[in-house]
């Protein structure tokens, strides 16, 4: 088993990772966001990829999601845990909360979103009823219990296009649609992993309340401060999830 972590905003590198080596890959779909970093977290091996590059330079709509996921497949990765900074929409999703979403709605557009684009003789429709791998989600939830970390065990993740944050009305619409969390990078990443049959789950770390919920304005300073606490917990959760694998 080879586990990969994809780190998002606030998780460009894992400080506690003992790095053994890194590998820069090319794929038929182009260049991944950064080199794949191999290392050990509490004695367990993993591969780490910085979704926005290292240093953080790629906005959500410029990420080459296909290259990132293809590269992981090339490396023989058998499981992906994706970490993402999000805005909170429903009451349980306050700043610094960690949630393990079980559903998503994709509002992004214009992204290269499938590996099944060019072979027109063979049209493939993956099943995506449950976008996150249930067994992997359960393991993450068990890990949270084992380290006494409070997490919200379900939720619907909305993927917006960005890079701007939403309007207050957009957040009201997302709430009406049944969304609990909003981020910009969850798709097409989850679907591409499914296309390549790699079990994939998401750990969402709430950085701020969605637009219009609490404050007049969302600042980057607020986002960064909440992510500090949230990502510290997320790394502990990752480490324990890998221990249980």
Residue 77 to residue 70: CA distance in whole angstroms: 10
**Residue closer to ligand HPA, measured from CB, 16 or 164:** 164
From the list 162, 140, 161, 159, the residue with the least C-alpha distance to 151 is 140
Q: How far is the CB of 86 from ligand HPA (least distance, A)?
A: 5
CB 153, min distance to ligand HPA, A: 20
* Cβ-based nearer residue to ligand HPA, 105 or 165: 165
Q: How far is CA 160 from CA 16, 34, 109, 212, in A?
A: 31, 23, 8, 16
69 near ligand HPA, judged by CB under 6 A: no
Q: Cβ closer to ligand HPA: 208 or 241?
A: 208
Sign, CA torsion 88/91/93/99: negative
How far is the C-alpha of 60 from the C-alpha of 214, rounded, in Å?
25
Could you tell me which stretch among 36-44, 119-127, 129-137, 158-166 binds ligand HPA (CB under 6 A)? 158-166
Alpha carbons 132 and 104: distance in angstroms, whole number: 9
Q: Residue 25 burial by CB count (10 A; 0-12/13-18/19+): exposed, middle or buried? A: middle
230: enclosing H helix or E strand: helix 220-243
Rounded to a whole number of angstroms, the minimum distance from the CB of residue 85 to ligand HPA is 4
With CB under 6 A as the contact rule, the residue among 79, 166, 180, 189 that binds ligand HPA is 166
Distance, CA of 44 to CA of 103 (rounded, Å): 29
Is 140 a residue that touches ligand HPA (CB under 6 A)? no
Question: Binding ligand HPA by CB under 6 A: which of 77, 86, 151, 213?
Answer: 86
Q: Closer to ligand HPA at the Cβ: 206 or 239?
A: 206
Hey, which residues between 175 and 214 contact ligand HPA (CB under 6 A)? Answer: 182-184, 207-208, 210
165 near ligand HPA (CB under 6 A): yes
Determine which residue in the list 160, 204, 226, 241 makes contact with ligand HPA, applying CB under 6 A: 160
Please, is 105 exposed, middle or buried when counting C-beta atoms within 10 Å of its C-beta (0-12, 13-18, 19+)? middle
Given 3, 5, 17, 85, the residue binding ligand HPA (CB under 6 A): 85
Chain contacts with ligand HPA (rule: CB under 6 A):
85-87, 160, 165-166, 182-184, 207-208, 210, 223
């Amino acid at each position: 088993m080879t586990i990969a972590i994809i780190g998002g905003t606030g998780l460009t590198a894992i400080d506690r990772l003992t790095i053994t080596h890194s590998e820069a890959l090319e794929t038929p779909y182009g260049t991944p966001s950064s080199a794949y970093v191999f290392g050990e977290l509490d004695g367990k091996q993993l591969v780490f990829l910085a979704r926005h590059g290292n240093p953080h330079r790629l906005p959500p709509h410029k990420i080459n999601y296909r290259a990132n996921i293809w590269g992981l497949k090339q490396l023989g990765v058998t499981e992906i845990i994706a970490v993402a900074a999000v805005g909170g929409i429903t009451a349980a999703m306050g700043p610094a909360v960690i949630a393990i979403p079980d559903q998503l709605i994709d509002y992004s557009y214009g992204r290269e979103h499938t590996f099944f684009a060019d072979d027109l003789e063979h049209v493939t429709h993956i099943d995506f009823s449950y976008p996150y791998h249930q067994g992997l989600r359960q393991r993450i939830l068990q890990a949270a219990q084992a380290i006494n970390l409070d997490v919200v065990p379900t939720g619907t993740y909305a993927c917006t296009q960005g890079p701007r944050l939403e309007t207050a009305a957009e957040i009201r619409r997302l709430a009406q649609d049944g969304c609990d969390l909003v981020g910009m990078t969850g798709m097409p990443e989850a679907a591409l992993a499914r296309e390549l049959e790699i079990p994939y789950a998401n750990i969402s770390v709430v950085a701020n309340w969605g637009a219009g919920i609490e404050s007049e304005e969302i600042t980057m300073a607020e986002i960064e401060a909440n992510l500090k606490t949230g990502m510290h917990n997320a790394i502990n959760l990752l480490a324990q999830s890998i221990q249980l694998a």
